């Protein structure tokens, strides 16, 4: 047994007690006696050198250390459970991809049918959240991240260069004509709070200092900012790549010529080097690169 790993039975007892917040209820679920569960928790606390639970007048609660440990352990136990169920059901060739939400919904999802046709034998799982995956939990094979790349000990490949530019609905532009960037200082602007390019940076690139004192709307997802712009609520500052479908349909238009944009590389495909040996990973990455190359003119 590895010296840096506790017994699995102790981890299962910890996760169950943490979920149930009761030694008795955890014992019933695990088909053990409460004293046996308590003994396993005590051994785990001794192994870790920290208290995982605090006793109060109303029962038990997780300690700060217990809360932090549960976040890591629960995911690992879930991954073991999923792997076990897959083996029992004969599921093979699984691939788990995590992505930033707007990229998943606006770029990846419209292309997934092509991946399914190319690799019908892969059981594909996609999750989306703004939080980066913790590969140590063993739940995700590939992460498509948005942000500034600072992820040591991982393979990091930029997806594509994007042009960040103001986008608006034809209806808004018809009722409020905009000729030069300065015209937008009195226009309703939509702020995407998580974007790596903010309005002050875009205005500065056009030789203007400052932005309106307030924004018409603020959102923490690019897809929400784009939808608000489609509704004519304001002008969004977003990626031409991510907004490609809205632009192609005519729901949104670039306010200015693409030359008045800011180029960035902000989306990255990320995974541990050990995952590169998995056939499913190499197949997805190859397909992904081909899709990016096919859309270079977009």
pLDDT means per 10 residues, the chain with 298 residues, are: 79 92 92 92 93 90 92 78 64 84 95 94 90 82 94 94 96 92 89 92 88 83 95 96 95 94 95 91 95 75
Label residue 224 exposed, middle or buried (CB < 10 Å: 0-12, 13-18, 19+): middle
pLDDT at 76: 76
- Maximum distance among all Cα pairs of the chain, rounded to whole angstroms: 76
Per 3-state DSSP, the chain is made up of helix, strand and coil in percentages (nearest 5) of: 45, 20, 35
With a CB cutoff of 8 Å and minimum separation 6, the contacts of 33 are: 27
pLDDT at 82: 67
Long-range contacts of 224-228 (CB under 8 A, 24+ apart): 225/190, 225/191, 225/192, 226/106, 226/167, 226/252, 228/190
End-to-end CA distance of the chain: 54
Q: DSSP code of 31?
A: T
Say which CATH superfamily domain 102-158+268-294 falls into: Periplasmic binding protein-like II (3.40.190.10)
| Partners of residue 190 on adjacent β-strands | 217, 236
Contact (CB, 8 A) for 54 and 61:
yes
pLDDT at 2: 66
pLDDT at 209: 80
Contact (CB, 8 A) for 34 and 23:
yes
pLDDT at 50: 94
| Main-chain phi, psi angles of 234, to 5 degrees | 170, -170
Q: Where do runs of H (alpha helix) occur along the chain?
A: 8-20, 23-30, 34-48, 64-88, 101-103, 112-118, 170-175, 199-205, 222-230, 244-249, 279-294
CA distance 101 to 128: 5
* Count of positions (residues) in the chain: 298
pLDDT at 201: 92
E strands present in 155-212:
155-158, 162-168, 189-192
Q: Calculate the CA 112 to chain-centre distance.
A: 17
Read off the tokens for 54. 């605090």
Residue with tokens 């080097």: 273
Q: Calculate the CA 267 to chain-centre distance.
A: 11
Classify each residue of 88-107 as buried b or exposed e, where b means 16 or more C-beta atoms within 10 Å of its C-beta. Answer: eeeeeeebbbbbbbbbbbbb
Residue with tokens 């799982």: 125
Is the domain covering 162-264 a CATH 3.40.190.10 domain? yes
Task: Check: pTM over 0.75? Answer yes or no.
Answer: no
User: Is-same-fold flag (8-87; 102-158+268-294)?
Assistant: no
Domain segments of the chain as ranges = 8-87, 102-158+268-294, 162-264
Pairing type for strands 94-99 and 123-128 reads parallel
Q: What is the dihedral of CA 200, 174, 295, 113, to 10 degrees?
A: 110
* Strand ordering across the sheet containing 155-158: 123-128, 94-99, 142-146, 267-271, 155-158
**Architecture of the domain defined by 8-87:** Orthogonal Bundle (1.10)
Residue with tokens 């995700």: 140
């Amino acid at each position: 047994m590895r010296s840096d790993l506790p017994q699995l039975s102790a981890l299962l007892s910890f996760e169950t007690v943490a979920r149930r917040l009761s030694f008795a209820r955890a014992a019933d679920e695990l088909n053990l006696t409460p004293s046996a569960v308590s003994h396993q928790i005590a051994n785990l606390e001794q192994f870790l050198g920290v208290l995982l639970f605090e006793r109060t007048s109303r029962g038990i609660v997780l300690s700060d250390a217990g809360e932090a440990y549960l976040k890591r352990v629960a995911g690992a136990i879930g991954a073991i459970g999923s792997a076990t169920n897959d083996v029992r059901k004969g599921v093979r060739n699984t691939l788990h991809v995590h992505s930033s939400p707007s990229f998943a919904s606006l770029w990846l999802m419209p292309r997934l049918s092509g991946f399914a046709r190319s690799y019908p034998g892969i059981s594909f799982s996609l999750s989306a959240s703004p939080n980066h995956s913790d590969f140590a939990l063993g739940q995700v094979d590939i992460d498509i991240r948005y942000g500034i790349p600072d992820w040591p000990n991982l393979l990091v490949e930029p997806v594509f260069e994007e042009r960040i530019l103001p986008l608006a609905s034809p209806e808004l532009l018809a009722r409020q004509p905009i000729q030069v960037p300065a015209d937008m200082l009195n226009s309703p602007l939509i702020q995407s709070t998580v974007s790596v390019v903010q309005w002050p940076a875009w205005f500065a690139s056009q030789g203007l200092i400052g932005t309106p004192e307030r924004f018409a709307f603020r959102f923490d997802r690019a897809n929400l900012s784009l939808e608000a712009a489609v509704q004519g609520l304001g002008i969004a500052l977003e990626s031409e790549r991510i907004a490609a479908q809205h632009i192609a349909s005519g729901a949104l238009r670039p306010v200015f010529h693409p030359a008045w944009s800011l180029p960035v590389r902000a989306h990255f495909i990320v995974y541990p080097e050990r995952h590169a040996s998995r056939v499913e990973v190499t197949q997805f990455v190859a397909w992904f690169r081909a899709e990016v190359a096919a859309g270079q003119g977009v």
